[in-house]
Amino acid sequence: MKDNGKKKASSDINEVAKGLSMVLQIGINMIVPVALCLFIGYKLDRWLDTNYLMIIFLFLGFAAGIRSVYVITKSFYAKDLEKEKEAQKYFDELYAEHEKNASDDTDRH
């Protein structure tokens, strides 16, 4: 019994570590594209003597960061989504069986 407690604690620590790494990845994947695009926009504005490229590149950086975060979170929750789909399929089959039994009972009476 004690061994199961150690396995559960180890599993909990692994889940916390995965969550922490995901939070750090999200932060990095939002900051880097925004900062890089701001830098590029600033340099282009100075080189071309304009005032609007930095704002355009800022929005491009935000879009790239959001897309990156979406890809990361989608892969992180893929396993949970599969378990949820399996559970939903089980309950759908159970509901269909219940409906079939209920209709059989009403047909008999």
* Domain locations in the chain as residue ranges: 2-76, 81-109
Q: How confident is the model at residue 1 (pLDDT cuts 50, 70, 90)?
A: very low
Mean pLDDT is lowest, of 32-41, 42-51, 58-67, 89-98, for: 89-98
Q: What is the mean pLDDT of residues 40-50?
A: 94
> Does residue 91 register a pLDDT over 60?
yes
> 33, exposed or middle or buried, with CB in 10 Å at 0-12, 13-18, 19+?
buried
> 65, exposed or middle or buried, with CB in 10 Å at 0-12, 13-18, 19+?
buried
